[in-house]
């Protein structure tokens, strides 16, 4: 992870910045939505979108006739792509000292177009990230559909990442009630029971890809990594 620019160094609570590649990859492989930010005609534009990590790149896709931010990215604009995971709420004995546990990464750079057979592979990678196993249950994309889809990748060369995974902290005694509860409430993400569309014939079995998401699995949710203590 390249992160030598002075403007990329976190100044406030700098100890929360991490350069660990595995921590970055875990965030990108777990979260489903990122936010693409670009300047379009001098105006800031931010767009949420699904994404996937492919090695040392972030993949995104959209319609070739899509919105301003994706078009600007495809035309070589310098962009920022942010991904954040909220892992828990931190309850201190004052509102001022209360916080959140989180992992957040911002990738800076220029997207590269992905075309031809590489685009097919990238679209499959996106599908497997968002709906694992679904590609084996449905028809393949047509050439017309692929041609109507813009696929871009952003290198993970310029990244800043910040992590908080701790209990509450307090400054010197400034009047808190020390009998008040303090601690962390972890946030877990879990999929609900599948709801079939009216297009699904009665009696159709739930496919493996859908059933796998609906089955409780530690891989399908994040538990706050703070385990307690001072």
Q: Is 215 left (phi over 0), alpha (psi -120 to 50) or beta?
A: beta
**What are the residue ranges spanned by the domains of the chain?**
6-168+177-220
In whole angstroms, how far apart are CA 137 and each of 79, 83, 102, 191, 208?
Answer: 35, 29, 35, 20, 9
pLDDT exceeds 50 at position 70 = yes
Distance between CA 102 and CA 96 in Å, rounded?
18
Fold of 6-168+177-220: Pnp Oxidase; Chain A (2.30.110)
pLDDT (tens digit, 9 = 90+) per residue, 14-42? 666 788 899 999 999 999 999 999 998 88
Task: For residue 195, count CB atoms less than 10 angstroms from its CB and return exposed for 0-12, middle for 13-18, buried for 19 or more.
Answer: exposed
pLDDT (tens digit, 9 = 90+) per residue, 74-113? 888 999 999 999 999 999 988 988 999 999 999 999 999 9
């Amino acid at each position: 992870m390249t992160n030598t620019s002075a403007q990329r160094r976190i100044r406030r609570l700098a100890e929360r910045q991490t350069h660990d590649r595995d921590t970055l990859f875990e965030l990108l492989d777990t979260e489903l939505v990122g936010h693409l930010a670009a300047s379009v005609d001098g105006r800031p534009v931010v767009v949420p979108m699904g994404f996937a990590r492919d090695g040392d790149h972030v993949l995104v896709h959209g319609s070739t006739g899509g919105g301003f931010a994706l078009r600007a990215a495809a035309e070589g604009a310098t962009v920022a792509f942010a991904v954040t995971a909220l892992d828990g709420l931190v309850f201190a004995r004052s509102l001022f000292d209360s916080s959140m546990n989180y992992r957040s990464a911002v990738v800076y750079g220029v997207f590269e177009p992905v075309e031809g057979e590489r685009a097919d592979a990238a679209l499959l990678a996106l599908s497997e990230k968002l709906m694992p196993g679904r590609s084996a249950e449905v028809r393949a994309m047509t050439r017309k559909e692929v041609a109507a889809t813009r696929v871009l990748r952003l290198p993970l060369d310029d990244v800043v990442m910040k992590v908080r995974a701790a209990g509450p902290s307090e400054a010197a005694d400034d009047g808190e009630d020390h009998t008040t509860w303090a601690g962390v409430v972890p946030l877990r993400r879990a999929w609900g029971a599948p709801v079939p569309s009216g297009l699904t014939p009665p009696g159709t079995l739930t496919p493996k890809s859908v059933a796998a998401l609906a089955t409780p699995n530690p891989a399908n949710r994040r538990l706050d990594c703070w385990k307690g203590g001072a």
